[in-house]
C-alpha cells in the first residue's frame, strides 16, 4: 500500500485529510512541519504558500506528500486577510473581526483552499477551490472540529446557520457535498492519485 505524508500540525486539517482520502488504498502518515523546520512564507496567495511548504517538506523527507493551506477572505475588504488569515486571526481575534465587519453591508466571504501534492519524483500538483458564504451577524459557540474561529461567523451558501452551529449530520453532509463537487480540490486530488 502506498504511503503519503500529510504535512500539518493542525488537528482539524489532519482529520479532514484522513477522511477525504479514506476510500483510497493509501496509508496517510502525519508529519509535523515544526519538527522539520518547515517555514510558512508570508504571501497573499494560498497557492504560493502551499507550494513553498510542499517543496520544503519534499527536500526534507523525499517522499510523496500533501500540504494544504487556506485563507479566509472578506469581499468588502478586497479579500483580506486571505493567506494571512492565521496571524490576523491571532492578532484581531474573533471580536476584532466582528468589530471590523460592524456596519459593513457587503458580508460576502469565502474560504479558499489549496492542496499541493508532491509525487514520488518531486513533481508538484496543485488543486484549489473556494467555498463561499456570508459573514454572520451572530457569533456561535466553538465547534470541536473547527480549524479557526471563522467557523463561528461563517454561514455557508445554502445554510441558514453558521458552520459551528451545524449538527454532526449537517456538518458531514456539507463536508461530503463539498468534497464530491466537481470543483472540489479533494475530488480532483483523489482522481489524480487513482490515475497515477
Q: Among 192, 143, 141, 139, which Cα is nearest to 172's?
A: 143
Q: Which residue has the higher pLDDT, 178 or 14?
A: 178
Q: What residues does each domain of the chain span? A: 2-194
pLDDT at 192: 95
CATH topology of domain 2-194: Maf protein (3.90.950)
Alpha helices (H) in 79-184, listed in sequence order: 85-101, 168-180
Predicted structure pTM score: 0.87
Pick the range with the lowest mean pLDDT from 58-62, 67-71, 100-104, 126-130: 67-71
Could you tell me which residues come within 8 angstroms of residue 97 by beta carbon, excluding any fewer than 6 positions away?
89, 135, 149, 150, 153
Q: Which residue has the higher pLDDT, 42 or 56?
A: 56
The 3-state DSSP class for residue 29 equals strand
Q: Which residue has the higher pLDDT, 145 or 133?
A: 133
Cβ(110)–Cβ(130) under 8 Å? Answer: yes
Cell numbers representing residue 118 in the block = 508532491
Q: Which helix (H) or strand (E) holds 5?
A: strand 2-7
Burial tier of 46 (Cβ tally within 10 Å: 0-12, 13-18, 19+): buried
Cell numbers representing residue 124 in the block = 508538484
User: What is the distance between the alpha carbons of residues 154 and 142, in angstroms, rounded to a whole number?
Assistant: 12
Banded model confidence at residue 1, pLDDT cuts 50, 70, 90: confident
Tell me the per-residue pLDDT of 16-34, one tens digit each, with 9 for 90 and over. 888 889 889 999 999 999 9
For the annotated catalytic residues, the residue numbers are: 69
Spell 160-172 as b/e; 16+ CB within 10 A means b.
Answer: eebbbbbeeeebe
Cell numbers representing residue 115 in the block = 492542496
Tell me the per-residue pLDDT of 65-124, one tens digit each, with 9 for 90 and over. 999 999 999 999 999 999 998 899 999 999 999 999 999 999 999 999 999 999 999 999
Amino acid at each position: 500500500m502506498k504511503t503519503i505524508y500529510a504535512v500539518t500540525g493542525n488537528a482539524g486539517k489532519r482529520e479532514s485529510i484522513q477522511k477525504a482520502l479514506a476510500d483510497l488504498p493509501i496509508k496517510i502518515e502525519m508529519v509535523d512541519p515544526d519538527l522539520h523546520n518547515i517555514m510558512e512564507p508570508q504571501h497573499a496567495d494560498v497557492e504560493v504558500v502551499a507550494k513553498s511548504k510542499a517543496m520544503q517538506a519534499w527536500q526534507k523527507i523525499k517522499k510523496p506528500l500533501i500540504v494544504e493551506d487556506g485563507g479566509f477572505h472578506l469581499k468588502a475588504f478586497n479579500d483580506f486577510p486571505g493567506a494571512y488569515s492565521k496571524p490576523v486571526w491571532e492578532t484581531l481575534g474573533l471580536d476584532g473581526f466582528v468589530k471590523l465587519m460592524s456596519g459593513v453591508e457587503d458580508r460576502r466571504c469565502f474560504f479558499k483552499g489549496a492542496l499541493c501534492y508532491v509525487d514520488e519524483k518531486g513533481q508538484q500538483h496543485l488543486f484549489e477551490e473556494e467555498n463561499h458564504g456570508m459573514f454572520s451577524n451572530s457569533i456561535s459557540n466553538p465547534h470541536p472540529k473547527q480549524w479557526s474561529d471563522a467557523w463561528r461567523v461563517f454561514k455557508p451558501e445554502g445554510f441558514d446557520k453558521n458552520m459551528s452551529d451545524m449538527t454532526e449530520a449537517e456538518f458531514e453532509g456539507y463536508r461530503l457535498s463539498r468534497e464530491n463537487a466537481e470543483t472540489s480540490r479533494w475530488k480532483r486530488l483523489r482522481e489524480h492519485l487513482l490515475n497515477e
